């Protein structure tokens, strides 16, 4: 059976059949939601804690909605209201949460690897990475994959151009890994200062010219300039950046005529994307990405809850440690 993971810490270890299991389940949730049908309550009796050490609109709100729609008891804790502000460490926060016995723990953290560390410290609990530093944002890559599959009918043999601030982007990394695994061709496009050295080794092509990178692309995925993760000036000015790398009608004309335009949000209109392009529903699927975000998060919560219950059942029968 696919998707046997105890946690969702990244897409790196997902096989194509795991990705398909998530997307098929999510597709069903999305269709039922459009028809106004409920999803049942497979998370009834489970407690989901959302722990956000960084700001978020889309991920936090959609994880909360997803858990509630599936019947979980959901508590969301932002760092502004937690004792982290008083100097509590990540490990002490984990031990405190452990004592409350959550079943599903959704974590966003500014440090790469912090969510993995937490997953080793909490007991009998499935951990979901909602974005850790520059490392991974697995549910973003999965919701992007679902959005692409709905628009294009497949994930293989597509040309996907991921453009902008690649160096600081966990979205770019997770999408690159997942789309490469699903046999799409991935191009990374951006100024040399925002392209990590040696990134080609992950199986992508690299372009410094938008016109070349977008040529014939089926999918154009724009990224925000992540100023909060930058040290020093990596671009001359936002005006110059938009001129060379902002997606406008002239640059988009280089892509395939039926291309789709994506952006994980939050968007900086007039910096990495022209507002008119973002709103043009002939190409833009940005609002669909948000809609698919709820469906994908419902799917991963449901699959991890299934694995958790099975593991607890095995443990109760003395058939091995939890997740063993
Ligand atoms: N795409 C994304 O992670 O958005 P938020 O930061 O609003 O969650």
CA distance from start to end of the chain: 16
DSSP string computed for 168-212 = T-HHHHHHHHHHHHTT-EEEEES-GGGS-TTGGGGT-EEES-HHH
In ligand 1, the atom with minimum distance to the C-alpha of 131 is 3
Backbone φ and ψ for 136, nearest 5 degrees, come out as -145, 155
In ligand 1, the atom with minimum distance to the C-alpha of 265 is 1
Q: Each residue of 209-255: pLDDT tens digit?
A: 999 999 999 999 999 988 776 666 677 788 999 999 999 999 999 99
Q: Each residue of 38-51: pLDDT tens digit?
A: 899 999 999 999 99
Among 54, 55, 56, the mutation site with the greatest number of ligand 1 atoms within 8 A of its Cβ is 56
- Count CA within 13 A, CB hemisphere, residue 278: 18
pLDDT band at 74 (very low <50, low <70, confident <90, very high): very high
Nearest CA to ligand 1 atom 3: 59
Q: Would you tell me how many other CB atoms lie within 10 Å of the CB of residue 191?
A: 18
Question: Stretch 15-32: mean pLDDT, rounded?
Answer: 98
pLDDT of 1 over the 60 cut: yes
Full-model pTM: 0.95
Distances in whole angstroms, Cα of residue 125 to Cα of each of 62, 83, 114, 138: 20, 21, 16, 18
Q: Of 137, 121, 120, give the one whose Cα is nearest residue 129.
A: 137
Which pLDDT value is given to residue 91?
A: 83
What average pLDDT does the structure give for the chain? 93
Question: Stretch 276-303: mean pLDDT, rounded?
Answer: 98
Nearest CA to ligand 1 atom 4: 58
Question: CB–CB of 174/11 below 8 Å?
Answer: yes
Question: CB–CB of 264/223 below 8 Å?
Answer: yes
pLDDT band at 115 (very low <50, low <70, confident <90, very high): very high
Backbone φ and ψ for 221, nearest 5 degrees, come out as -110, 115
pLDDT of 322 over the 70 cut: no
Q: How far is the CA of 140 from the centre of ligand 1 (A)?
A: 8
Among 54, 62, 130, 265, the mutation site with the greatest number of ligand 1 atoms within 8 A of its Cβ is 265
Distance between CA atoms of residues 58 and 304, nearest Å = 21
Q: How far is the CA of 202 from the centre of ligand 1 (A)?
A: 24
DSSP 218: S
pLDDT of 125 over the 80 cut: yes
Buried b (16+ CB within 10 A) or exposed e, 173-183: bbbbbbbebbe
């Amino acid at each position: 059976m696919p998707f046997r993971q105890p946690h969702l810490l990244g897409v790196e270890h997902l096989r194509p059949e795991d990705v398909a299991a998530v997307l098929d389940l999510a597709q069903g949730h999305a269709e039922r939601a459009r028809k106004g049908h409920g999803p049942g309550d497979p998370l009834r009796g489970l407690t989901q804690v959302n722990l956000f050490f960084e700001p978020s609109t889309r991920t936090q709100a959609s994880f909360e909605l997803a858990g509630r729609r599936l019947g979980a008891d959901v508590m969301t804790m932002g760092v502004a209201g937690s004792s982290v502000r008083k100097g509590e460490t990540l490990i002490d926060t984990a031990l405190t949460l452990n004592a409350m016995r959550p079943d599903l723990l959704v974590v966003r953290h500014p440090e790469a690897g912090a969510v993995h560390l937490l997953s080793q410290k909490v007991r009998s609990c499935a951990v979901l990475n909602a974005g850790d530093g520059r490392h991974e944002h697995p549910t973003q890559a999965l919701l992007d994959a679902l959005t692409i599959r709905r628009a294009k009918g497949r994930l293989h043999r597509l040309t996907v151009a991921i453009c902008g601030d690649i160096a600081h982007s966990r979205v770019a990394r997770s999408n690159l890994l997942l789309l490469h695994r699903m046999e799409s061709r991935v191009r990374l496009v951006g100024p040399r200062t925002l392209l990590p050295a040696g990134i080609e080794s992950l199986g992508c092509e690299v372009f410094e010219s938008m016109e070349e990178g977008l040529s014939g692309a089926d999918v154009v995925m724009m990224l925000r300039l992540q100023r909060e993760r930058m040290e020093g000036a990596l671009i001359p000015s936002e005006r110059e950046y938009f001129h060379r790398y902002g997606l406008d009608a002239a640059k988009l004309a280089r892509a395939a005529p039926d291309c789709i335009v994506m952006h994980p949000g939050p968007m900086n209109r007039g910096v990495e994307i022209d507002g008119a392009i973002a709103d043009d529903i002939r190409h833009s699927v940005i609002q669909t990405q948000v809609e698919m975000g709820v469906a994908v998060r419902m799917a991963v919560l449901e699959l991890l809850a299934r694995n958790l219950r099975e593991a607890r059942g095995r443990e109760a029968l003395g058939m091995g440690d939890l997740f063993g």
